[in-house]
Amino acid sequence: MKLFRCQHCEQVLYFENRQCQNCLHRLGYLPAAGTLSAVEPDDRVWRALASPTRRYRFCDTAGYDACNWLVPVDSPEAFCVVCRHNRIVPDLSLTDNLTRWRKCELAKHRLFYTLIRLDLALPSRAEDPRYGLVFDFRADAPGAGGHRVMTGHQDGLITINLWEADDAEREKLRSAMGETYRTLLGHLRQEAGHYFWDRLVRDTGRIETFREFFGDERQDYPKALQGHYAKGPAQDWQASHISSYAAAHPWEDFAETWAHYLHIVDTLEMAFAFGIRVRPGIDERSGPAIVPDFDPHDPGNMNRLIEAWLPLTFAVNSIIRCMGESDFYPFVLSPRTVTKLGFIHALIHQDRPT
Ligand SMILES: [Zn+2]
Ligand SMILES: [Zn+2]
């Protein structure tokens, strides 16, 4: 993620800001330009200071304060390029639903920011009625015996249980599952990983190469998950998987690793935006600091990302421990996991996996 600047007053802005705290201009995100822009009213629509020749309106979802993205005024779409992927949203007359859905949308907009920056195709259901990417945000039915919503992906449909947006509930689940990391953004990136497995692996004839890296996905999926929940992963899962859940099945391995690739790209961009430089080790002998002189969305090769990433995680974990908090980065990147990340890097950048 980038830092942004108000075009009117130069104030530093964050992706989710709705208004410049300094000059009070309303703010909207322009996905084509990849920038947040101060806007000014212009005959019942808006003029964006970052794109003054066109006029815009806000996405319809802005009415719920769940989106700040702009739509060109001549577009037939009521929703922005993110919100047009929604199929079901919960009953927003219930305050808890609205609060949780807003959190889902914040995370989903961050997901799309990265997917757009990586130049990945994101057809909606209107554009691809069979496999277009679409989201359901749903709440469990009330009562002990009510229908429980399963977070997951199926043929382009990503379903998110709204409970995942409740911090206390999600932390309870994380602890019960023995996980070291569980976030809403992580869920969205992971489910998007399943979607892109269909698109970039299954539908492009790369399945044999996929199996060389991740194993044979034809093994029984429900049985594999049952086994994972009943017995847990193999003791040495860290030698070849990014998380214990990734060891459950090759599909989950791919999705977990995909999410991790997005974590790395997004976090590095923000570290670079702040000019953070970290030496690979802790003294001069370790060589020069990593110079943030590349775009993590287009780094050239995977090694460049990893060389910048590992010292950053070491530094931030060390800093956050000083505040008595748990690790910011509770993962170990084994050489095999790095090769899997390299496979995903090649898929995204349209190379033949090597
Ligand atoms: Zn301003
Ligand atoms: Zn929107």
- Least distant ligand from the CA of 4: 1
Give Dmax over CA atoms of the chain in angstroms.
64
Beta bridge partners of 162: none
Taking residues 281-310, report their average pLDDT.
82
Does the pLDDT at position 279 exceed 50? yes
- Compute, in angstroms, the gap from residue 109 CA to the centroid of ligand 2: 8
Query: Of the candidates 254, 273, 234, 263, which has an alpha carbon nearest to the alpha carbon of residue 337?
Result: 254
Give the mean pLDDT of the chain: 94
- Compute, in angstroms, the gap from residue 36 CA to the centroid of ligand 1: 11
Confidence of residue 354 (pLDDT cuts 50, 70, 90): very low
Query: Of the candidates 349, 270, 344, which has an alpha carbon nearest to the alpha carbon of residue 308?
Result: 270
- Compute, in angstroms, the gap from residue 85 CA to the centroid of ligand 2: 9
- Least distant ligand from the CA of 64: 2
- Compute, in angstroms, the gap from residue 295 CA to the centroid of ligand 1: 26
Beta bridge partners of 152: 159
CA end-to-end span of the chain: 28
- Compute, in angstroms, the gap from residue 299 CA to the centroid of ligand 1: 32
- Compute, in angstroms, the gap from residue 38 CA to the centroid of ligand 1: 7
Taking residues 25-46, report their average pLDDT.
96
User: Which class for 327: exposed (0-12), middle (13-18), buried (19 or more C-beta within 10 A)?
Assistant: middle
Out of 179-183, 292-296, 348-352, which region has the weakest mean confidence (pLDDT)?
Answer: 348-352
In this prediction, residue 285 carries a pLDDT of 67
Confidence of residue 284 (pLDDT cuts 50, 70, 90): low
Residue labelled with tokens 């709204």: 162
Query: Of the candidates 54, 53, 56, 70, which has an alpha carbon nearest to the alpha carbon of residue 18?
Result: 70
At 62, phi and psi to the nearest 5? -60, -25
In tens, the pLDDT along 186-228 reads 999 999 999 999 999 999 999 999 999 999 999 999 999 999 9
Half-sphere exposure of 15 (CA within 13 A, CB side): 19
- Least distant ligand from the CA of 27: 1
Confidence of residue 281 (pLDDT cuts 50, 70, 90): low
In this prediction, residue 280 carries a pLDDT of 66
In tens, the pLDDT along 151-164 reads 999 999 999 999 99
Confidence of residue 178 (pLDDT cuts 50, 70, 90): confident
Q: Residue 214 belongs to what H/E stretch? A: helix 207-214
Stated pTM of the model: 0.95
- Least distant ligand from the CA of 7: 1
- Compute, in angstroms, the gap from residue 106 CA to the centroid of ligand 2: 10
What residues contact residue 33 under an 8 Å CB cut-off, 6+ apart? Answer: 50, 51
The CA distance from 266 to 90, in Å, is 29
The CA distance from 227 to 233, in Å, is 8
In tens, the pLDDT along 65-116 reads 999 999 999 999 999 999 999 999 999 999 999 999 999 999 999 999 999 9
Taking residues 245-261, report their average pLDDT.
97
Taking residues 1-6, report their average pLDDT.
96
The CA distance from 321 to 123, in Å, is 42
Rg (CA), the chain: 21
Query: Of the candidates 117, 160, 162, which has an alpha carbon nearest to the alpha carbon of residue 135?
Result: 160
Strands 86-88 and 70-72: unpaired
Say which amino acid occupies 302: M
3 state DSSP class of 234: coil
At 298, phi and psi to the nearest 5? -145, 65
In this prediction, residue 288 carries a pLDDT of 64
- Scanning 274-334, the segments in alpha helix (DSSP H) are 302-321
- Compute, in angstroms, the gap from residue 71 CA to the centroid of ligand 2: 8
